[in-house]
Chain A
């Protein structure tokens, strides 16, 4: 059937205009006056009530600590994910022993949450991880990006983060090997290497203080991407692991960017394994690494790529974290469907995700 029309099922689909009203509670009026002002006009009872709540909060945080280290030392070692959801403006702790990390702000000795999320504690650092947010680059992340701007000695790359990433001319492999001196003509020829719209995979080399990433492609595993298909999934669903390039059955390679940008391509032998000795790799990097030409890709392979893409999108739709094992399981599940086009239906996506969760448990 060419079209599935689902009836919407959200707040917008029903019109409820009942006159059910709600009333602010009387003590609402004497509101809590904690956060910002000089605390001069709040009612006396209100303040007492609030302080009791604050102590409860602190006690809760502390009690977990004490359970872990029986000797009564309040320090926590290792990551402990508290299950407590906090919202902006909520008091997180009033104890000055904690270092305040992301997602919090302090007023005096008190720390408040600035986002809606869960409290995380690592050693003495207390932060709040937001429920949702754009990709935050970390050093060592393997990402896929798209060139948005060509500068004089660097490129700006979109990696789906809060800021565009920077790729310096000195951070890429230039044809002719590393021994080659960089010349002025390289700067003028920037577009010959990478131009607007080009896709590449790279590693995050550094993160500036404002959060912008600096990338490098100084390995033959990184560089311009060809012979394949690009799509995205939410970055929070990408499970961080040691490797992010996978060889999948069917002759397909996947580059699973930590930033949620993905590239599926025809399998190619990594240059490092093409019988070239290690010492000569850099010198052998010729202009091919910046080529815009695809190899021949058969219809079967295109079909396989579509199948993998739909399988991964099915996992993303059901908000299942994506890693190699789950992708393989999803591909297995997809074999039940003769055409990958059947996998775009929402009920099929759910079935695939269910199968994946069952078969990759443990």
Chain B
């Protein structure tokens, strides 16, 4: 168990030199797999790396799964055995992975303007190739970018961020070591609004400490939204210049 002093020094520095309210190094790219998918993205948040491929909207593979009045989203998460420090092979029906798929599916079923595509299906494939904390948030952010790349109509970006509570200190965007050492929550917001699309907390935390965590996480979500939006605009401008619009 890591000593508390190391995780957050008295000067206010974390293990990687960040302050409490700084998110990790964020890199993203859109339209990374133009041939094999309708929309794609790669996201790097700190050392966590996620690839997302979206296929659709398209004819559903199983007629029975099609919804008569709206789009059906199917999410699949593949965790590479080499993504963690210790190599670990997870079976497809691992309950944590299934839960992550289900959360992501619910988030995007509401975020996408689903009634425009009755009896159609979107397949979202997420590949986690490196894990260092914040995996669910990276998956949600990657899915948002891939859906935007595919031209799927959405009400707004869905952006996610984590926040943790170390004694009474709030920390934003945790890495793996921080996540294992304190209670933390993952939040996803609709764009830069206060509407929360996902809130997931897995360890016990005192009730009065919940609000500062949520406030910090929301601020982090909005910041990430801007980072993603910058990339989408940059990509849009470069495509426009190529004259392919």
Contacts and interface: CB of A to CB of B under 8 A. Distances in A.
Interface of A: 10-12, 16-25, 28-29, 31-37, 41-42, 83, 85, 87-89, 103, 105, 112, 114-118, 129-134, 162-164, 210-211, 234, 236-237, 319, 321
A20 B219 contact: no
A296 to B, nearest CB: 34
B215 A29 contact: yes
Contact of B195 (A16, A37, A131, A211): A37
Contacts of A211: 117
B26 A22 contact: yes
Interface string B17-53: 1110111111111011010001100101011010100
**Residue among B34, B113, B149, B244 facing the most chain A CB atoms (10 A cut-off):** B244
A18 B195 CA distance: 32
Given A17-B47, A162-B117, A31 B23 contact: no
Contacts of A20: 25
Interface string B87-123: 0000000000000000000000000010001111000
Given A21-B23, A115-B151, 16 more contacts: A11-B27, A16-B25, A19-B16, A19-B25, A28-B226, A36-B155, A36-B193, A83-B240, A85-B237, A89-B156, A116-B149, A132-B150, A163-B119, A164-B59, A211-B117, A319-B244
Nearest to A22: B23
A103 B151 CA distance: 9
B76 interface: no
B119 A210 contact: yes
Chain B, interface size category, equals 35 or more
B42 A103 contact: no
Contact of A33 (B28, B51, B58, B193): B193
Nearest to B192: A31
B31 to A, nearest CB: 7
A36 B190 contact: yes
A88 B157 CA distance: 6
* A interface: dominant SS: loop
Nearest to A234: B34
B18 A21 contact: yes
Given A35-B155, A35-B191, A133-B150, A117 B236 contact: yes
A17 B25 contact: yes
**Among all A-B residue pairs, the 10 with the closest Cβ atoms:** A89-B156, A133-B151, A24-B223, A130-B151, A114-B153, A21-B22, A85-B236, A11-B29, A89-B191, A19-B16
A23 B25 contact: no
Contact of B244 (A10, A103, A237): A237
A19 B17 contact: yes
B118 A132 contact: no
A101 to B, nearest CB: 12
Contacts of B57: 134, 162-163
Contacts of B39: 132
Contacts of A234: 34
Contact of A162 (B16, B18, B56): B56
Contact of B157 (A21, A89, A236): A89
A153 to B, nearest CB: 18
Given A22-B26, A105-B113, A319-B244, A12 B191 contact: no
A38 to B, nearest CB: 11
Contact of B223 (A23, A103, A130, A133): A23
